[in-house]
Amino acid sequence: MRWAIHKRDRGMSMFKNLMVCRIDSAWAMSLDKVEADAAKATFAACAPTQPKSMGFSPARGLQHGRLVESIGGQWIMKVTIEQRVLPASVVKRRLEDRVAEIKEKTGRVPSKKEKALLKDEITRELLPKAFCKQQELSVWIDPHKRLLGVDTGSKSKFDDVTTLLATALESFKVMRYQTAIAPATGMAEWLRESVAPAPFTLDQDCELKAVDEAKSAVKYSRHNLDLDEIKQHLQAGKMPTKVAMTWSSRVSFMLSDDMQLKKLQFLDVVFAGQEAEVDAFDANVAIVTGELSKLVDDLLDGLGGIREVAVDEDHDDSTEAASEGRSGTRQTGAEARMAA
């Protein structure tokens, strides 16, 4: 039987999705130092010709509030990302008009290089008129387990956040979790056996995809997963990319093959007995991070535990974006203010 979602969760939970990674043990954690470093990269709105800006905002959403809040030993931050939305079709149409004008006046068609320069010029002209889209992402740091969690199901947004952290916080580096059993392999085995490792249970949604060039896929929604048909797909070579699960009858989610936790739902039992007069933010952080911390531990155990890899191997992929951020390829809010 599925648990009902608690009504408090609909408006309160700061994590609808979760992507996690490990924080390098060399990072010397200090709450005051993180606050001071983050203050140098606070969010500022996009300048007129700036396509994107990101930075830290007060964790509680209160003006002039702290950028890092510590509740029960868990640190919470908030990253705001703003982007100017300029549809590619608008730029393309304006470019076609500009090319037609040049052809009519000179009798020649601009070269590929000239078109690229025209496209950049048109983009700069249109950016100040484009509307801005803003998104806030909760960031969770468990300093004891050296875990970083970000409320996103987007790899690009996750890279944005880790790049900002690595750029702003001194000596901050992250590494991907490497488990003994790959998530896709684990999910495939659970579907074959029709059972997940305790305390997880399989729910009623999954997606299987072929690993060949065809990339054919089959999706089951609100369906019993104990099917011979699913086992036949696995036998034919398809692998799970998503499987819906519930942890300890407390948290439901969709596990992906890159270990993302999507569509997080904290069930009714999680908030049972919570006192109404308790500070909503503090209570939510304490409950949600407490649940997620145990869930992540059990998930790592269910996948055979963390596989130890060479430091260089683990750092190469996970810190590449951070290195780009330090070289100035991305602007934080503080840098945007200077540019403006």
Q: Could you tell me the CA-to-CA distances from 66 to 34, 58, 139, 268 in Å, in that order?
A: 11, 5, 14, 31
Q: Which residue has the tokens 């079709």?
A: 89
The tens place of each residue's pLDDT in the chain, 340 residues long, gives 333 333 333 334 679 999 999 999 889 889 999 999 999 999 999 999 899 999 999 999 998 999 999 999 999 999 999 999 999 999 999 999 999 999 999 999 999 999 999 999 998 899 888 889 999 999 999 999 999 999 999 999 999 999 999 999 999 999 999 999 999 999 999 999 999 999 999 999 999 999 888 889 999 999 999 999 999 999 999 999 999 999 999 999 999 999 999 999 999 898 887 665 567 889 899 999 999 999 999 999 999 999 855 434 444 444 444 444 444 434 445 444 434 3
Q: Quote the CA–CA distance of 153 and 26 in Å, as a whole number.
A: 27
Smallest Cα–Cα separation from 27: which of 168, 151, 149? 168
Q: What pLDDT score does 14 carry?
A: 78
Q: Quote the CA–CA distance of 42 and 333 in Å, as a whole number.
A: 6
Q: Which residue has the tokens 């700036």?
A: 50
